[in-house]
Amino acid sequence: KKTHQGNKKNGGKFSNSYFEHSSMPEKEVTIKRNAISNPTVDSLLSELENFKTTFRIERDKAILNLLEHSGGRRIEIHQVKIDDIYKAKETGRLKLYTAKKRNISNPSREVPIGKEVIDEIIGFITFDRQELIDKAITKGKIKNDHGYLLINYYGNHMGVQSISDEIAIIRRAAGITERAHPHLFRHRFVTILLDDIHKSLTDMGIGDIADSVRNQLMSLMGWSVDMTPTYEDQYLSEKEGWKNI
């Protein structure tokens, strides 16, 4: 045990105690989480076909597709509304409400998303989601359609933690040993995004690649200025390993 003492700005004293041991990690150690792999994503999607209800299959497929193709945080996927999906069909860009930015004039961002992904989610909205919502209203479980894309069996807005819980259930059912937390989809997305951006800028002969990359990442990922270099540095230091993802 060690004790550090010092002076406060107001002239007082302070004392902090902490422990050091060879088995304890150093304070500066950063834990790196690897991106979820393609085989794991494929296994999760395949396992859904073994579930009993079409509603659950299609809803969970929407969850996995949004995590994979938008790079959104779990809470951001949770906030997607059906109107956002229909708008994305028109524009090719999905609006996400940025979770980790405070006191800004525009708390949302738009990310490009494929037509096939949006069309599949619209299929879920039109059939399975609508059928469950209608039944929930008829039985008095809910008063009206709240408009959120992800719902539970009672027609209510699905909880944020339920997204992680559902993925964990699929993972166990598929016998997957690799971690499959929602945020690992975000790591995968930014890994592929960085590779594409670097290649595109290099091909175009843009000299100041670092600033260009960071501006695009901040726009698409909803990051602050100080967060972006961390991901870029990790990407550059492990670029050979990323190619297999």
The tens digit of pLDDT for each residue in 98-127 reads: 887 554 556 888 999 999 999 999 999 999
pTM of the model: 0.74
Q: Which of 196, 160, 174 is nearest to 41 (CA)?
A: 174
CA-CA-CA-CA dihedral for 24, 231, 245, 241, to nearest 10: -70
Pair of tokens at residue 231: 């991901």
The tens digit of pLDDT for each residue in 143-196 reads: 999 999 999 999 999 999 999 999 999 999 999 999 999 999 988 888 887 777
Q: What's the pLDDT band for 89 if we cut at 50, 70, 90? A: very high
Q: Who wins on pLDDT, 138 or 197?
A: 138
Q: What is the pLDDT of residue 72?
A: 93
Helix (H, G, I), strand (E, B) or coil at 96: strand
Cβ-count burial of 138 within 10 angstroms (0-12 exposed, 13-18 middle, 19+ buried)?
exposed
Q: What is the pLDDT of residue 83?
A: 98
Q: What is the pLDDT of residue 36?
A: 93
Report the share of the chain in percent with pLDDT over 90: 56
The tens digit of pLDDT for each residue in 17-32 reads: 544 544 444 444 344 5
Q: Which helix (H) or strand (E) holds 15?
A: strand 13-18
